[in-house]
Structure 1
């Protein structure tokens, strides 16, 4: 395996290197789930390395580079298991593209994954406030003054997407939630009793009457997760990115929201499954995966991000160790 540096412990392996080169060292059919946010074509630059996909001169060069990773992801993922990537439509700019418009980046990625054999499984829209986008990007189509001047150039805000692909084949180990969903990741947690749905009253059921007046927590959580639009992601619930910034950061660093990662891992993995993030960044996926008792592999090209990822992983591991010690102490206390 070609790596610059690495940090390997019992529950995680973090690699500093090119994700395409590192992933070639992983065994076939060894990964239970992968979730990541790829570079958004040539829109952002993350480092000055020639191996950085964000340094592509144009979209065509990016897709050519990204194809190598897609091939490897298909190889290492277990049959019947899933892979999720976070993405968005990319704004077209007159200075760069010659016109003002939108590129269907999610569609391009979906087709790339389908071409190597993946099955298009799911896509959820993640709401983003257009006012925040307008303030941050100064996009012409979102400005109120453009509405007043000529609304032919006005457009909707750009949401995020979490696209999920599935590798063909039978899943050898069911992803079972025998007690339903017992926790919620997001804002405005649903109300409901954490119980199994009671058996229906035969008489009421026969009369087609409502036989259960008690909202079941797991049902309410699943209803929110199954919604095609996630309105309840906490946009500020991310790991601290400031410490990872360096003078070489050209344009962008934006960690994925922890709620998005947690929902993917909760829905599509079992405890102790291996979760892969080939674009680890500052370790958001690893932080969540370890917190949810999964194992994890992360790959990151940029040194400052890799170092910060180690610190973030150490933080969640220390927190878990402390909680386990406290639990053990409480269990050993006398009842009276």
Structure 2
């Protein structure tokens, strides 16, 4: 097998298709009375071993989980645990008896578990979260209405991962994964052991570099994302998704009635500028404003509820009344005769009686919060009308709607949506999320219909994301290729480049293309360096003996919600790179440190916040600088240190003084005085920054004085919150503090309304490296070409360039910059013309 074939095989193993960890079961072994779609789902889930079941309301998700537990115990022994919201326990007990003729037991503590006589047990989330129930005791677990984990917060999710990871057969089940809450979906993947949450984030989502956790699914990744989801999650909207008849599973019409109540706009108040507002308005982002509107408009909303109930078409019907505030509950129960409520501080026995009475038609009006009764309960047999006070908690409300709008409902469902006219934006946001949810479910259901339950064509279809084209452009002094850099490196001649400058992908931190060739498209550091193991030997072969490879890298921030540490930590990526390149024969020559703006970094990661520092400084690290790692390919003649083709400096252009600054440390001297607050207060920030740098370079450094200046700026309200105005400076040649962070080709990209590079390399860095480590006429090689920064700088400095780049848009944009640089380098200057004339 050739090296190229080995590489292609490595790429094919990247396809994100979840493995099967379960076992096969025959349909004849299943409970005979199960519906066909339930039998198929059970078989699929048991074969997968760890799977997500997203079955629509009324498709017997409860029975499905019970049957899975029953069959796993029958084949593998042990006990099974189903975790569900507290009020859903009664449904599991009832359906286990009705459909499977078996008993299940509700357990609160491990003593209950040990003494339990049934093989299948039920517990609520609080019991598991608080440690009363030990999941690793069980062979099978299922998280019913798993989306409620969101309400418990990230901490609970992180606690559930290690608690449940020893369980061989793990399942999650919910009817409503949140619309565009992609993080929720990939949290399920992490919990099930399908893919690490951080890796899934990197693989499928672009991030806002200015704001943490602002995720958007890559457009070019959307189809692959849903196809990947289909290998471990089943979205089932109706039996026909699996090829069965929908008879008996036709949803009735849902008729929504907008019930807008008027508000007193004369009390709208003033805005932040002191201007009188014409209308009262509650924004989805204004938490105080929303709460105030809810309080101020409570009475008119309750009056509208009473009026709805008393309409002739409604007087004889049973109603669910969904609210969210305790004050609303009290007002509703007071205003509506015979209305009873279920609430958090209520005794379980009382709540169970009220639920049972309403479920069986003995109670006409039931009021509750969606967070209490919105999941898992079936109220469709005696109720087909509901009133809902609208707020921005879409998921809870959407679940609540489906307590009556579900399969087996015999009547059209009427939903009365009550909101104040000042809450119109909240209502519009609610409707938008509903539309997004429907799109999400339709996407997944379509994939099930298209590829089948087991995704038999998934591997074949996902192969299409393998890079399969090549395009080359040759200038006078440069070659740029749109191709996989490894495949391209295989073709380059030995000892053909005098310098390598590259900013390698920072492990799997970003993906730059939708292809599996992308180095960022790897599960972890180990897999990333396995792919680098194909490229680095080629870089070594291509580089001339005695010459340098300059590798730009940065350490990675690992967030506690992805690692389980509860705090941000640092992945020492630069150190891993040092050992990687040394493993392949390079000699390590040192590294240059490029300082970065810690305030800007914190705005992107939220890991170094001042407020958190005040709470506990022990969890705070420092900002992440960038590094240029210097590696040398050993020269042929080991008796001398000179390269086979030395990089020779002309003393006229490279002075003794410059050498001393480059090669030696520095001593600071004192002299100037500190600026006063009055001086600083009248200056622009850029002036302050330049003056501080000048002062810091010409004076003995004093930490306390540095802090004093910053505190003085803070006191007079001119200390920026989005960047560092007086960052530390140094003249040490191994630490570059004067690199212009914004001096990249991205500036040109923005001006031309083109796609920005995710991690642009600063022009300053490349210029210095080229000057220091190459001769005019040398070829500078960059395997990760990006938007052509290295080629652009090399051509300006009268070198040749060879670049490869996988992303077509980056590659195409880079051609423009390199053609421009080549043209400028070949255009004679006035001095050139004068010399030519003299000759």
Fold shared by both chains (TM-score > 0.5): yes
Question: Which whole-Å CA distance do the structure 1 matches of 2:775 and 2:651 have between them?
Answer: 13
Is contact 2:797-2:825 (8 Å) kept? Answer: no
Superposed, 1:1-336 pairs within 5 Å as 4-99=470-565, 100-135=568-603, 137-140=604-607, 142-170=608-636, 171-179=643-651, 181-182=653-654, 216=657, 219-220=660-661, 227-240=733-746, 241-242=749-750, 246=755, 253-322=758-827, 324=828, 326-331=830-835
Q: For the structure 1 residues 93 and 173, does the alpha-carbon distance in structure 2 shift closer, same or farther, using more than 3 Å as the test?
A: same
Offset, 1:145: 0.6
CA–CA separation in structure 2 for the residues paired with 1:7 and 1:235: 30
Alpha-carbon spacing, 1:151–1:39, altered in 2? closer, same or farther (3 Å) = same
Name stretches of at least 5 consecutive residues in structure 2 with no aligned partner.
Answer: 5-467, 637-642, 666-730
What per-residue deviation string (whole Å, max 9, x for no partner) do you get for residues 83-131 of structure 1?
A: 0111111111123333331111011111111111111112011111211
Following superposition, the deviation at residue 217 of structure 1 comes to 5.5
TM score, norm. by length of structure 1? 0.81
Cα 1:326/1:181, change in 2 over 3 Å? closer
Distance 2:816 2:520 in 1: 25
Checking the alignment, whether the CA contact within 8 Å between 2:500 and 2:782 is kept in structure 1 is yes
Within 2, Cα distance between the matches of 1:129 and 1:319? Answer: 33
Larger Rg: 2
- Whole-angstrom CA distance in 2 between matches of 1:74 and 1:110: 14
Q: Which has the higher contact order (CA 8 A, sep 6+)?
A: 1
Q: Give the direction of change, closer, same or farther, for the CA distance of 1:11–1:244 in structure 2 (3 Å limit).
A: farther
Checking the alignment, whether the CA contact within 8 Å between 1:181 and 1:218 is kept in structure 2 is no
Query: Relative to 1, partners in 2 of residues 1:121 and 1:218: Cα closer, same or farther, differing over 3 Å?
Result: closer
Instruction: Check conservation: 2:662, 2:733, Cα contact below 8 A.
Output: no
Partners of 1:126 and 1:230 within 8 A in 2: yes
Separation of aligned partners in 1, 2:492 and 2:593? 31
Q: What's the CA shift for 1:226?
A: 6.2
- Report the Cα offset of residue 139 of structure 1: 2.8
Bigger shift: residues 111-120 or 312-321: 312-321
How much does 1:49 deviate?
1.1
- Which whole-Å deviations, capped at 9, do the CAs of 1:144-173 have from their partners, x for residues lacking one? 011111111111111000001011124122
The Cα shift of 1:45 comes to 1.5
Contact 1:283 1:313 in 2 (8 A): yes
| Pairwise CA distance, 1:180 | 5.5
Alpha-carbon separation, structure 2, partners of 1:118 and 1:325 = 40
Shift of residue 16, structure 1, vs aligned partner: 0.6
Gap change, CA 1:52 and 1:217, over 3 Å in 2: closer
Higher helix proportion: 2
Q: Would the aligned equivalents of 2:554 and 2:573 in 1 still touch at CA under 8 Å?
A: yes
- Equivalenced residues, count: 296
In structure 2, the CA distance between the partners of 1:238 and 1:279, relative to structure 1 (3 Å rule), is: same
Q: Check conservation: 1:47, 1:302, Cα contact below 8 A.
A: yes
**Cα pair 1:181 1:221 within 8 Å, conserved:** no
Q: CA shift at 1:181, angstroms?
A: 4.5
Distance 1:48 1:180, change over 3 A: farther
* Distance of 1:245 and 1:51 partners within structure 2: 23
C-alpha displacement at 1:138, in angstroms?
3.1
* 3-state DSSP of counterpart to 2:766: helix
Query: Which blocks of at least 5 consecutive residues in structure 1 are unaligned?
Result: 183-195, 198-215
Question: What's the TM-score once normalised by structure 2's chain length?
Answer: 0.34
Give deviations 1:176-207, integer Å, cap 9, x for gaps: 1122645xxxxxxxxxxxxx66xxxxxxxxxx
Asked if the contact 1:282–1:309 (Cα under 8 Å) also holds between the matched residues in 2, the reply is: yes
Structure 1, residues 298-321: CA drift from partner, whole Å, max 9, x if none?
Answer: 000010001001000111122223
Runs of 4+ in 1 over 3 A off after TM superposition: 216-226, 241-246, 325-334
> In 2, are the aligned partners of 1:289 and 1:296 still within 8 Å (CA)?
yes
The 1-side partners of 2:632 and 2:497 are apart by 12
Change (3 A) 1:132 1:180: farther
